[in-house]
Amino acid sequence: MNERLAAVFQQLTAFWQGLTAVRRFAIVGAIVAVLGGTLYAANVSNQEQYGFLFTDLSVDDAASITTKLKELKVPFRIAAGGSAIEVPEQRVHELVTLRRVSAGEKCFRLRDRRQTARDV
């Protein structure tokens, strides 16, 4: 087995040495591009997807909702210039019932997956 491996290594070495500098550069560049693309794809696929929890919020409403989300230890992102709140997509349905109580129960607007607004 070692002899076969040595023969393959010798053939690869001879092949590499027979290449021009431009072809070597092209092969190395292609390998780097494939590895970089693979690492990028792996990184993107591991990122958590966020969905809209509330949209069309006032500054005060957004502040009170983010305070409640912090209390619940729910990760969130502020979007649309502060008028929308995004949470991890798998938690949207669970958190849709989140309501702010001030002078009675006030409902906020929610965007569903089809990006159409509806009242909660």
For the ranges 26-40, 51-65, 92-106, the maximum mean pLDDT occurs at 26-40
Q: Is pLDDT of 103 > 60?
A: no
Question: DSSP alpha helices (H): ranges in the chain?
Answer: 2-17, 21-46, 59-71, 92-95
Residue 117 to residue 7: CA distance in whole angstroms: 67
State the pLDDT at residue 44. Answer: 81
Question: Would you state the pLDDT for residue 98?
Answer: 54
Q: What is the model's pTM? A: 0.49
* Helix/strand/coil for 39: helix
The lowest-confidence range among 2-6, 37-41, 110-114 is 110-114
Domain range list for the chain: 2-46, 50-119
Calculate the CA 15 to chain-centre distance. Answer: 42
Range with the poorest average pLDDT among 3-17, 21-35, 44-58 = 44-58
Please compute the mean of the pLDDT values over residues 9-18 and round it to a whole number.
93
